[in-house]
A and B are shown apart, each in its own frame.
Chain A
Amino acid sequence: MTAYRLSAGGLVDRATSLNFTFDGQSMKGLAGDTLASALLANDQMLVGRSFKYHRPRGIVTAGASEPNALMTIGSGARTDPNTKATVAELYAGLEARSQNSWPSLKYDVGALNGLLSPFLSAGFYYKTFMWPAAFWEKVYEPIIRKAAGLGRAVLERDPEAYEKCWAHCDLLVVGSGPAGLMAALTAGRAGLRVILVDEGFRHGGSLLSETTPIDGEPAAAFVDKALSELATLPNVTLMARTTVFGWYDDNVFGALERVQKHLAVPSSKLPAERVWRIAAKRALLATGAEERPLVFGGNDRPGVMMAGALSTYANRYGVAAGKLVALFTNGSAGYRTAADLAAHGIDIAAIIDSRADSTEVAPFGTRVIRGGSIVDTKGRSRLSGITVERSGFEERIDCDAMGMSGGFSPVIHLACQRGAKPVWSETLKAFVAPDVGAGLRLAGSAAGLYALAACLKDGADKARTIASDLGLLTSAAHLPAVGEETTASFTALWYVPGARSKAFVDFQNDVHAKDLGLALREGFGHVEHAKRYTTNGMATDQGKLSNVNAVGILAGMQGVSPAELGTTTFRPFYTPVPFGALAGTSRDEHAAPKRVSPLHGWAARNKAVFIESGLWYRSSWFPRAGEKTWRESVDREVLNVRENVGLCDVSTLGKIEVFGPDAAEFLNRLYCNPFLKLPVGKARYGLMLREDGMVYDDGTTSRLSDEHFLVTTTTALAGGVMSHMEYCAQVLWPELKVRFCSVSDQWAQMAIAGPKSRLVVQALVEDDVSNAAFPFLAAKAVTLKGGLKGRLFRISFSGELAYELAVPAGYGEAVADKVMDVGRMHGICAYGLEALNVLRIEKGHVTHAELDGRVTPDDAGFGRMLSSQKADFIGKRLSTRFGLTAADRMQMVGLKPVEKDKDIRAGAHLLREGAKPSTLNDQGYVSSACYSPVLGQFIALGFLKSGRERYGEKVVVWDRLRGEETLAEICNPVFVDPANTKLNS
């Protein structure tokens, strides 16, 4: 047994000893310990250094509000900084390190900051470090950054897995102390689907350190019985190690389950942590109450702890935090702790009670100093004594630990996360939750009840109310008999006068009472200003201990009630949640779904290099033996298409079937160009605008029968166009009889392009595909040799004689293989996105590089497509706005370097020759550029002010970002076959 482990008692397994290390030093704890209780058992009171002054700090609490005992746990990629030792479950082999000290926890150079503290008062940053001006970023800021922060994040790839789940229930009970447990029992017995969560690794909450017997037995036995019963109820789910961190709209709660954080070697089959989204018809917060620290001189000395924590360490963990303990209290809780400790044989140095007229009874033989206060403390790495003042007389009392109790605040965090403001209760001297509706109620101490019997009853009562809300009748609950209790009471005491040294309000952020005074003096008295100016409540504990005292002190200094000041805003998360848990499985390659074309296998067999394109993986180019650069492959593919024939996978284009008697009318309103008279068997290029007159998307639309069209969209906007069409049909024009079906995934589509494409296509299909029978823009269903039904379109993105052949997706690869077979004798090659891009730039065709959402049809050279005949179409009215028709708008042009061997790259801007670069002189930009193997030079498409009037003029292609300037000639954007003879051949 270690020095501070009591010889008996507690819910620890004395037979199972666990080895762990703290700052490299080997220690032993017991199963059932937290890291904090094990450290205390090993006489390790000093556990960390504070944020600003690097003051030595000890364990203060036994729970989630811990401000000081923050450790870095684990090693390598499994390092968790800033872990609260008070909630970290001990396991064999746990490695813990203290934080924010150098060279060691005991001798920390940073403590020199304490000497400078007069210069480091609240808000000091804002007043200083300004001279000389350049010094802030070069000198001061790096020093401040290095000194700030707590633990160190390793930023390595996390070896562990995480997941997210939904859960649904009638009643979510948060907290399994007396109120929560009784609520779960009552609701569970009534047949409600109940989820009972508790942040601890063991259900029971405060009952686990309760000494009052229940039904004549120790409270822990009552917990065990209740849990056994709940475990038998199929409608009840028990979740331990689970923290409800947030309350969101529609009564959805976010909860973090620490599945394997308590294991030295986690299983690879389970997640480390799991985020639950719990949709609850009703929720009951049985989250208990937080004991308040007292703000007195030297209250941050290691060994000064919450009184309740002393009780918990003794009762639940069998650990004495000290051998001679003093208590400082403003209410009954301090006496209770004294009784608890005395029962374990721990010596009580004294009870200092701030109330002169209190009547509480101390354990036999204990000295009580009523009307006294502590004004200072002594000790280095552990408290050695306190200075007590009463009626002007001072006395030094030796002790090696002390408990403070400043009263209680109900834990109402979750209830106030959605905008409801906490309400000050003068009776309870605490902020309580307002009525936030039937979805969420509070019970037990969270509702301001502090007696055990009252909490048990309240839990049962609230559960019955909720059951009847949900239409279930319940019989009166059997309430367990509770042994004799003292009446809990306390007075408000926000600040203990006469402090000889700093009296801390926020331990972690080193905010002391004088900082709040300074904030007030400088005009930052509003509770939010004070918080932001002093950083009170902004540490990793989010002010769980400090906020209410800060409010009390600020209110006191201004002579108003805390009610008038109010609180800062409660926001998620109740306790911090790791990124990884909230991300779940969505990370790395699984961050987004992966889409592959039905021809993916074909492309892979042809050795395609794939590239991400939105969610898609598309074939980019098809390298052949001997080709050293991507350009070599692309040049070959382009030339081969221009000279022979090529096959390109275009399956990723969006494909939407449009049916109905009003299909033509619908499309006529959807596109800016006319569609009413499109003949059956024909395709037409269509331009879709947004209502503001800018181009939204383009593609070809084919009429397959009178009432059946096929719309194609760009790959990027396949989903967007579908939604847009549905909006138009359902909301704008519900009177039109039209229906849609997205078939993007149902068809494999291949472009077969090049002068010899007809030979290839004719060899594949039964139908006549001659120019006479199947001219440019023909579109129809065809039968492939062998009987497969497909669709054939005479459309061309490359500008060559070309066909697009669509077959059911499952046949895609087989047909593509066949195309390659048939085409071999004609010199066919597979070509990818890169070659497709070169081909279309050569032909002056646009993509989203040109149609970037800021471009009108006229800008892109489609001005004549805008149908003035049509009464209405999406985008018609606003496209006539002055700014959209202004003469100096940028228009699409072609660009060729004047010196043939110079290159042009996309993203460059355009300047008049000799013009000084400036935003005012900016003439436009290059939207797409490529090397054209046909022309043997770089060519580009760009947008230039009044560009179409300026063919033949020279401009500077200005790429300052990459240090390039090239003189280029402005030309027609169609570089290849402007007369469309190839297309129509």
Chain B
Amino acid sequence: MASLIPCPHCGVRPKEEFAIRGDASLVRPDPESSDETWNDYVHIRANPRGRYREHWQHVAGCRRWLVVERDTFTHEVFSVTDGSVRAWEIGR
């Protein structure tokens, strides 16, 4: 996982070209949502041991934000997709 990332736009590239932001399963709440929902979005993390979606940006490549789905224990990568595709999927 963290040696090589298969960027859907640029192909397999070394980790050094990417920047990592964090949990990609979070959805930015509606502005009217409760304080708790907002706090959960900004501060609370499921932090699973196992399958996990994470935002990586290919900063030294296509500059797209990607969703890397991988295992946090074995570091196996299951898929890498464009972040906006994912954003549309979850109905944003």
Contact = CB atoms under 8 A, between A and B. Distances in A.
* A contacting B, Cβ–Cβ less than 8 Å: yes
A252 B42 contact: no
A279 B1 CA distance: 12
B84 A731 contact: yes
Given A726-B57, A726-B65, A731 B4 contact: no
Interface stretch (A75-83, A705-713, A779-787, A869-877): A869-877
Contacts of B24: 731
Contact of A734 (B2, B74, B87): B87
B28 interface: yes
Interface residues of A, number: 25
Interface string B20-31: 010010001101
Nearest to A876: B31
B45 interface: no
Interface string A240-266: 000000001110100000000000000
B3 A730 contact: no
B5 to A, nearest CB: 9
A731 B42 contact: no
A733 B91 CA distance: 11
A745 interface: no
Contact of A249 (B1, B31, B42, B63): B1
Nearest to B70: A249
Interface in B49-83: 55, 57, 59, 63-65, 74-75, 77, 82-83
A733 B82 CA distance: 14
A252 B2 CA distance: 10
Q: Which of A279, A726, A731, A877 has the most CB of B within 10 A?
A: A731
Contact of B1 (A166, A250, A732): A250
Nearest to A251: B3
A808 B91 CA distance: 42
Contacts of A730: 64-65, 82-84, 87
Contact of B2 (A249, A876, A878): A249
A540 B84 CA distance: 50
Given A730-B65, A731-B55, A872-B31, A250 B87 contact: no
A730 B39 CA distance: 22
Contacts of A249: 1-4, 75
Given A723-B19, A730-B65, A872-B31, A250 B4 contact: yes
A735 interface: yes
A248 B57 contact: no
A727 interface: yes
Interface in A733-751: 733-735
A727 B19 CA distance: 12
Given A249-B75, A732-B28, A878 B1 contact: no
A692 interface: yes
A734 B38 contact: no
A158 interface: no
Contacts of B21: 727
Nearest to B57: A723
Contacts of B42: 691-692, 878
A765 B69 CA distance: 54
Q: Which of A691, A730, A732, A876 has the most CB of B within 10 A?
A: A730
Contacts of A691: 41-42
A734 B57 contact: no
Interface residues of B, number: 33
Nearest to A727: B65
Nearest to B39: A878
Interface of A is mostly: mixed
Given A731-B65, A872-B31, A248 B3 contact: yes
Interface string A893-922: 000000000000000000000000000000
Nearest to A880: B35
A474 to B, nearest CB: 26
A727 B22 CA distance: 12
Contacts of B65: 726-727, 730-731
A252 B4 contact: yes
A876 B24 CA distance: 21
Nearest to A693: B42
A727 B86 CA distance: 13
Q: Which of B4, B24, B55, B64 has the most CB of A within 10 A?
A: B4
Contacts of A692: 42
B59 to A, nearest CB: 6
B64 to A, nearest CB: 6
Contacts of B64: 726, 730
B3 A250 contact: yes
Nearest to A877: B38
Contacts of A732: 28, 87, 92
B55 A727 contact: yes
A730 B62 CA distance: 12
Interface string A220-252: 000000000000000000000000000011101
Contacts of A277: 3, 14
Nearest to A166: B14
A249 B77 CA distance: 10
A731 B87 contact: yes
Contacts of B19: 723
A210 B6 CA distance: 45
Nearest to A740: B63
A871 B83 CA distance: 25
A673 to B, nearest CB: 16
Contacts of A166: 14
Contacts of B59: 719, 723
A279 B92 contact: no
A626 to B, nearest CB: 48
A733 B75 contact: no
Contacts of B4: 249-250, 252, 279
Contacts of A727: 21, 55, 57, 65, 83
Contacts of A252: 3-4
A972 to B, nearest CB: 34
A26 B41 CA distance: 72
Contacts of B28: 732
B31 A871 contact: yes
A300 B45 CA distance: 55
A719 B39 CA distance: 27
19 contacts: A166-B14, A248-B3, A250-B1, A250-B3, A726-B57, A726-B65, A727-B57, A730-B65, A730-B83, A731-B55, A731-B65, A731-B83, A734-B84, A735-B92, A871-B31, A872-B31, A877-B29, A877-B31, A878-B39
Interface of B: 1-4, 14, 19, 21, 24, 28-29, 31, 33, 35, 38-39, 41-42, 55, 57, 59, 63-65, 74-75, 77, 82-84, 86-88, 92
Interface of A: 166, 248-250, 252, 277, 279, 419, 691-692, 719, 723, 726-727, 730-735, 871-872, 876-878
Given A279-B3, A877-B38, 18 more contacts: A252-B3, A277-B3, A691-B42, A723-B57, A726-B57, A726-B65, A727-B21, A727-B57, A727-B83, A730-B87, A731-B55, A731-B65, A734-B84, A872-B31, A877-B31, A877-B35, A878-B38, A878-B42
